Chains A and B, each alone.
Chain A
Amino acid sequence: MSEFNAFAAGPWGSALAIALMALVTFLCRIGGVVLMSYVRITPRVERGLRALPGSIILATILPSALENGWPALVTLGASITVMAVTRIDLVGLAAGLGTLSVIRALL
């Protein structure tokens, strides 16, 4: 163990930390695929997985949007509206960035 301590404290400690971070991240990345190859995809499981993309988006953006107050909410509203009308993702993105820039310039 003391040899391992010395190795971790030495010049290779950072490389070891990065390698292990990369390893656990890769296991997370393949974990779902490996797991689902053993699970029978019932209609219920399929419904749950179908809800995932929207759920991840809301779970990711809602706290920071609410934290940033009304300018953030108006911005996201603008990008969603423009995307819904045009269906072109770059246009929706530009609408959001433009709205936020204008709001901040005026504040």
Chain B
Amino acid sequence: MSSSLRPFFSLAGLRYGARAALPALPGFTMFSAAFGTAAAQKGLSLAEAMGLSAFVYAGASQMIGLEIWQQVWTPATILTIMTVTAVVNSRMILLGATLQPWLRHEPLARSVLNLFLLTEAGWLIGTRHYNDGGRDVGVLLGTALVLWLVWQLATLIGFFAGALVPDPKAFGLDLVMPIFFSVMLVPLWKGVRPALPWLIAGIVSYVTHALLPGYVYIIAGALAGVIAGMLIE
């Protein structure tokens, strides 16, 4: 298969990746600005809001984190927020698993940076490049750097100008992430049979969402899809 292609890193790839990040930017901006606004309303300081966006850098867990944020911390509440974060972000273990063959020959420091910046959106853009036969790790990093910078900027704007941000519903921006994801689904399509695991993932996710609170439904559906993919010949 494509394993004969050898991964490499180029500055051209970095620039290409930066441009390829474009379709994810509306969703990133909306989500991160919404986080900044919510953080300000919850009474977080600018340093706390930016600290979460810069270092945790994972939207769902940042939002959930706000719900259980404390003015005064105890070891128990710190343990809780840490555990909830780990559960919400555990789906990233799956993303990383698919990247291993691509990053195998990378220098450690660059992989650490690339993985620190790993997001679903960036991973989907990188996966599209990879599935088209591309092996330039620069593409992955270029996309990731742009997404991270935009995330920081949007948190900052949301924190200070939350009241000025227009109602996202007026422009359909509340559904902009699902729209981006559905667009990224198209190049993945290789016929009905390879898509059967997707259907199972969707069903399991929907049922889990109805039964359990929080974001567990994403990892439940994703895992069901992977298992289905392993079982369907």
Let me know if A55 and B198 touch, CB within 8 A.
yes
Contacts of B209 in A (CB 8 A): 63
Let me know if B61 and A66 touch, CB within 8 A.
no
Docked Cα-Cα span, A97 to B93, in Å, equals 31
For A25, A44, A97, A99, which residue has the most chain B Cβ atoms within 10 angstroms? Answer: A25
Docked Cα-Cα span, A93 to B194, in Å, equals 24
Docked Cα-Cα span, A20 to B225, in Å, equals 30
Provide the main secondary structure of the chain B interface. Answer: helix
Least CB distance, B134 to chain A, in whole angstroms: 15
Docked Cα-Cα span, A34 to B115, in Å, equals 11
Let me know if A83 and B183 touch, CB within 8 A.
yes
Let me know if B81 and A80 touch, CB within 8 A.
no
Docked Cα-Cα span, A50 to B197, in Å, equals 10
B40 within 8 A of A: no
Let me know if A52 and B75 touch, CB within 8 A.
no
Docked Cα-Cα span, A21 to B58, in Å, equals 10
A56 within 8 A of B: yes
Contacts of B8 in A (CB 8 A): none
Docked Cα-Cα span, A53 to B226, in Å, equals 9
The 8 Å CB contact of A57, one of B26, B118, B185, is B185
Least CB distance, B199 to chain A, in whole angstroms: 7
Contacts of A58 in B (CB 8 A): 185, 198-199, 201-202, 205, 221, 225
The 8 Å CB contact of B183, one of A59, A89, A98, is A89
Contacts of A23 in B (CB 8 A): 82
Report the stretch among B10-18, B145-153, B157-165, B173-181 that lies at the interface: B173-181
Let me know if B182 and A57 touch, CB within 8 A.
yes
B67 within 8 A of A: no
The 8 Å CB contact of A48, one of B56, B93, B183, B229, is B229
Mark out the residues of chain B between 81 and 127 whose CB falls within 8 Å of any chain A CB in the assembled complex. Answer: 81-82, 85-86, 89-101, 103-104, 111-112, 115-116, 118, 120, 123-124, 127
